[in-house]
Chain A
Amino acid sequence: MSTIVETHDDHGHHGPAKGLTRWLFTTNHKDIGTLYLWFSFLMLFIGGSMAMVIRAELFEPGLQIVQPEFFNQMTTNHGLIMVFGVIMPAFVGLANWMVPMQIGAPDMALPRLNNLSFWLLPMAFGILISTLFMDAGGPNFGWTFYAPLSTTYAPDTVTFFIFSVHIMGASSILGSINIITTILNMRAPGMTLMKMPLFVWSWLITAYLLIAVMPVLAGTVTMMLMDIHFGTSFFNAAGGGDPVLFQHIFWFFGHPEVYIMILPAFGIVSHIIETFSRKPIFGYSSMVYAMTSIAILSFVVWAHHMFTVGMPLAGELFFMYSTMLIAIPTGVKVFNWVATMFKGSISFETPMLFAIAFVSLFTIGGFSGLMLAIVPADFQYHDTYFVVAHFHYVLVPGSLFGIIAGVYYWLPKWTGNMYDETLGKLHFWLSFFSVNLTFFPMHFVGLAGMPRRYPDYALQFADFNAIVSVGAFIFGFTQLLLLFIVIKAIRTGKKASDEVWEDTKDWGLEWTLDSPPPYHSFTVQPEVK
């Protein structure tokens, strides 16, 4: 059911406000999308620098650059920043920019809430990053912050960490409420749910997941707060509690969280492959059902992160089976992307390159995930670099490439200028090469026995660690090229048409608007056949 949106010609044609306050007070979905995207880009470089510190230390055995206490802060904050400060805000930024345009709406349903949702993030990360400069040091217990390392044995700054997590959670929840309300209420007439673009579908599902699990995370950190400051014993055996309870509650959030971090990428990649294969996405309804089943199944697999914790056999088997089940809808999506390319008419612009890399490399990450699901084998993989390889494959050439692909795909629409295609392709090939150089050897180093979160390691792991570090540095510096490309496209470049790519008017409503689009996007509601 969609509500008719009234036009407001009485304002005349107006653009955005002028000056810095435009960005502080904006309620415009495009401006807020831009804020999210720049914020996430900044966080990418901050979290990325932490990765560089980690890889510099791990370049050789021995402690050369940092001591273990700082190394643990780097691994922890690298994880927190990438998960909560890069991937999630970037997808929210893309949602803000594209969802209203793709459904034919002038803006989001709750524009002021939208502004708050964004500005909560710099608050949260200001608090988190400031802890690194405090005497006690920042959080050093891993991004998964298991108790009691994160409760009884945590530095005093843990309370700031908890506060910061609460604020991030609030931002996500408020943003998700906005997205669901927008999608359910403001679609153009004729756009039934099963006619929605797949990116919109992916965000509808992701928003529900966020609302379901961010409160669980809030509960987890609140229980931690109680244990640390108010004498409770949720995670402390001394008072009748259980450290493993922490893990159950955390991963009940944590597993849906990782699907939150990939589903929007699925949506983006579907659009890009469709456009550049010049062929409609294969199996639209299956794609929708697959994303829905992945989301539902994501609630019943959490303990596959805890196979060595001492669970009874029946529990371990259940989680093994449910985790293996998720491979089916995910596989269906991969087959459908390939089937879209099959007998298409394919061109290889930069967004398509990133999308193809996504399909192949995310699939590799999916395979290592399937291997991890096998419980007895997981006894040998758990908490080693094999796991690190798996999640970096699904997050970097997975989610991050999905985001980058979306940026290249829609940037001409946003700025009105084509980005530099040669530089874009250079960025792609350097990223593709270095991402594999960085993360593929990690599979082997993990299988050979190197555990996670180690600042120093035995000599047999040295060669591959050196390779990984070189790859990581190349990858890190290559992203500076992306920064250059984006800034260049904002300022100059070949003018982009409304359609930008070929015949895209058939693929989505966003391509019916000017490039760049008017400030209020659709002031006249479009009709969808």
Chain B
Amino acid sequence: MPSLATDFVRRFARNRAALVGLVLVIALIGVALAAPWMFPKNPLRIVGRPEIWPFVNARFPLGTDSLGRDIAAMIAHGARTTLLIGLCASLTATLIGITVGASAAFFGGWVDEMLMRFTELFQTIPNLIFVLTIVSILGQKIEYVTIAVGIVTWTPIARLTRAEFMSLRDREFVQACRAMGMGNMRIMLGEILPNALPPVIVLSSLVIAGAVLFESAVSFLGLGDPNISSWGRLIGDGRTLIRTSWYICAVPGLAIMLTVLALNLIGDGLNDALNPKLRDR
């Protein structure tokens, strides 16, 4: 087993794009952790003259927005929001996806049929509209946005988990467990799940990127949590000033793009390292 793991790490480390992604994400996590220390005061408070362009005033390296709030502070604090929502939404999606996919494959028959129809239902509902509906019904709070994003992104994970479970459930080691009289839950969680997990985790890492994009769209529309600094909201706030100060939109957008880019590169790298045969495709 350890040799497999080192093999995996070596393959990942050979992938230059994935390493770039890893460095970017580590930098982002650094910024997110350091934000309360670098900018200890509330990032949403007004600190200077409005609409100072980036690189003009050394006190505000990324400039100020239309109200005179420090963009650098909002970006740093926004990194916390982005990472937290991305991780939690992906975790929610992974939990739902694994539960649905594993039960469908393990029990088969009408359970499988019902759960797959359920999955199809969630693939049919236009996902962003569903998120907006949930947020409008439950209220504009960061927890609800996170859960809503998780609820619309679990379907690919359910499908993958189901496929992995299908290929594993009739293997000899599972039959041996059955013969020993192990219960369903123990076989599913203790025996099959650990073997099915690696590709599912890879997919979950890609779901984080999708969740970040979702959250940014919801905040951009002004339906995110109004009390929390978020990159999407910053773009939405700056929209009215694109004729004079388009940098207010450009800077947080670049942050979103780099984050999603880095997460995608890591996800692709993990995928390639996991399936070395597919690499040359």
Co-assembled chains A and B: no
Q: Which residues of B are in contact with A by a Cβ distance under 8 Å?
A: none
Residues of A within 8 A of B (CB): none
